[in-house]
Structure 1
Amino acid sequence: MSVKTFFTRHWFMYTMCLVIILAYIAPGVGSKGGLIYPEITVKYGAVSTIFFFSGVSLQTSDIHAAMSQTSLHVFIQGTTFLVYPVFMKILCILLTTIGDFNKSLLKG
């Protein structure tokens, strides 16, 4: 594998490392109220941009392979939105009736 191919394939990680080094050299640029106003740009732009470029760099075959795993997605969504909430509700009810726990803490 040539150096150009290697850097082309892993451009995102090298760009992230470069940005970290630049932040170390000139931290004032990214501080609150600094040149790029990170309280606005990071909150609204940087996160979206990172996810966008990560998604664009994926191979179509990888996306198709991941989307075709329906049973895995149903399992993850089911446990996230059904099993865990029901389990936590039962646990909170048990802790409320058995122990002397703060109800506000259990609500959170």
Structure 2
Amino acid sequence: MSIQRLQVLPGRLSHALVHNGTVYITGQVPEDITQDLAGQTKQVLARLEALLSEVGSDKSRILFAQIWLKHAVRDFDAMNAVWEAWIPHDALPARATVEANLADDEILIEIALQAAVTA
């Protein structure tokens, strides 16, 4: 079976990888880290939605989401408010959310996904 790699950063990673009908998307972080948690979450979800679309999938096909928050206790409800407005309620994925020391002090969220590919 073939493996399709998208948005490759040479020597480091592929932002998305499709194998056997599943897309694996690396942890995505916001571009504008001056925004609050809600703004950063919206940015990350938009990036994920674009990557899903690029491989022929969409947010209704998400199987699993891994969410890392800089401040899990403080920001959990704010992140969930944005997530719940974005995710289709008839297609809720499995999900894990944990607190993590992220790559930059201003990054408040990172999300990675696995999803079924529709085509």
Fold match (TM-score > 0.5)? no
Greater Rg over alpha carbons, structure: 1
The normalised TM-score by structure 1 is: 0.26
Larger strand proportion, structure 1 or 2? 2
The normalised TM-score by structure 2 is: 0.24
